[in-house]
Structure 1
Amino acid sequence: MKTFWYCALTLMLAVYVVLDGFDFGLGIIYRFVARTEADRRAALASIGPVWNGNEVWLIAAGGLLFFAFPKAYAAGFSGFYLALIIVLWLLIVRGLALELRSHLAHVLWRQFWDAAFAGASTLLAIVLGATLGNLILGVPLNQDGYFFMALWADFMMGPDTGILNWFTILMGVTSAAILAFHGANYLAMKTEGQLRGRARDAAWLTGSVAVVLVGLALAAVPFVQPSFRLNYDAHPIGYVFPFIGLTALVAALGLRRREWDAGSFYSTSLMILAILASTAWGSYPNILIATNDPANSLTVTNATAGSYGMQAGLWWFPIGFGLIVAYQVCAHRAFWGKVQL
């Protein structure tokens, strides 16, 4: 049962990154591909009906973490307090930019919110990658299951390293490249004309960069966290996840070259799912790895809620999950096809 909730949490976080990821990715390339007011309106219209619904998965995943693994929830939210506050403000700024931009037909007003949308989206994509990097590296948990990490302490990893170091920055930049590729594919799929052409060019460029960065990150993981390699060697069937991820990345570039926008978008979606599944497989049974003493790590066993609560959750989880999926399907089907202004 504990493994089920671990997998459910991984799935919900992965779906969130796939869905909100193309919003972030579009924001990264927004200032480069949307050169006219008509282009900007079309780009924003492509995500306007769905971006806030995509964030439901993040809220649901947070609720599931609190329900199933309350100790990990408490430790993570206290130790990463500053980083989480930054994320919260970035989400607020991005939402304000999307909602307020069209309220005043003034050049400076719209340019300000365009810059806010692009900047917040870029930083959020980097933060997602840095967060994944910290989950791979681990944190200095004490015996009570708590920790504190400064935002910046030592660029090279050591006993006093902070949230940002060379590995987490590499993961952050890699995340930005992947999500920019993902968002460019989405924009190309949803638009026409010159905007679609520029989105395709951006997708090819960011996809090529993503291949290099993914290779570097993949090579670095066994060195910064040897337990991942041991986990994979002990359960070699898990190698299917990174294999799927790399195959999907190559397929996305190949389909991009053939200008099949939808195929490339679905390939990047599969790649993101596979990357997060690979991380979860390598980390299991750990939720938060302790860098100072492996015995302090929070796992699916010692961070879990009571068995009664987890069993009761099996009744309401399918209902809640089904409602979210139904809403998402209806929302995306209602606005399927090319953007029409």
Structure 2
Amino acid sequence: MTVFKISHRQITLALHILIWSALLLLPWLLRTPGESYDTITTLPAPFFLLTVLLHAGLFYSNAFFFYPRLCNKRRWWLYLLCFILLVIAGNALKATLLQTWYPEIPLYGVNARFIFAPTFFALLAGTVYRFAANRINAEKAQKEKQSEQLAMQLKFLRSQVSPHFLFNVLANLVSLARKKSDRLEPSLIMLSDLMRYMLYDSDDKKVSLEKEAGYLKSYIALQQLRFGHDVDIRVAIELPADADRYRIEPMLLIPFVENAFKHGVGWIKDPRIGIALNAQEGQLSFRVENKFNPADNGPKDASSGIGLANVKSRLLLLYPQRHRLAISQENDTFHVHLTLQLQ
């Protein structure tokens, strides 16, 4: 089955054609049964059709030439002058044509309103149209700029790989290789899956919740390999059977876990990190907590982790009115709780 997509430009063009066609057919549409196709109100139909074409020319010349080039802060007075001159020129042309072709029709009274007023309104319509189009285009450009900035930001955030993390993981893999440990092969597979997700799968706008959770598990497993029993890492990930149908922004959850490992290990007595993820009826709940040293407020590694400020920006842009993020500190424990409406 072939699906035809209609663009905004095509819709606009069709509306313009429809409106001007309706105006051109107005004498025929307004005539009463048995009335000849020769007049509309008190004006000859041929003259009316010609003035419709004139109005179209004034409308488009104003909307696409005079207004864009002259209507600005410096030359607005020049645009106003051109507007007045166009009104005068258009009405003078109408009067000349009418007196030449139909000298018996007067140019005053009721006729004057039908002859001269539409010139002004055609130009005014061009001004309003261009002003509205500029506003719409400006808003569209702003949204596209925000989308591009978001895309660049997300691309940057997704491409962040902690050199310190990878160095330690690879060092542990080398150690496992020397010991000929059975854990080497699954560890390499986890690292491969992690890198594949970061480099390829995260290019998608949305991924399944199951895939995002799998990436999270691989990341945590490699961190467990890195720290061994030196850090108490507790993980509880519970997903519904239909988790694959829910979509989520890729690499949205990992920054909180990175932040926990960034600040929750090192010169901390009995380091502890807790991670809990569950989803029910389309709502995701994600909790991360870690012990930290209140006396150590400086960053440990400028390249490790992703700032929470960036994650907040992503959430605001990607999930407006559909998320709640609570961050708190209690004694020596840092808490993060994110609730998210999934799609």
Same fold (TM over 0.5): no
The structure in which a higher percent of residues are helix is 1
If the length of structure 2 is used for normalisation, what is the TM-score? 0.23
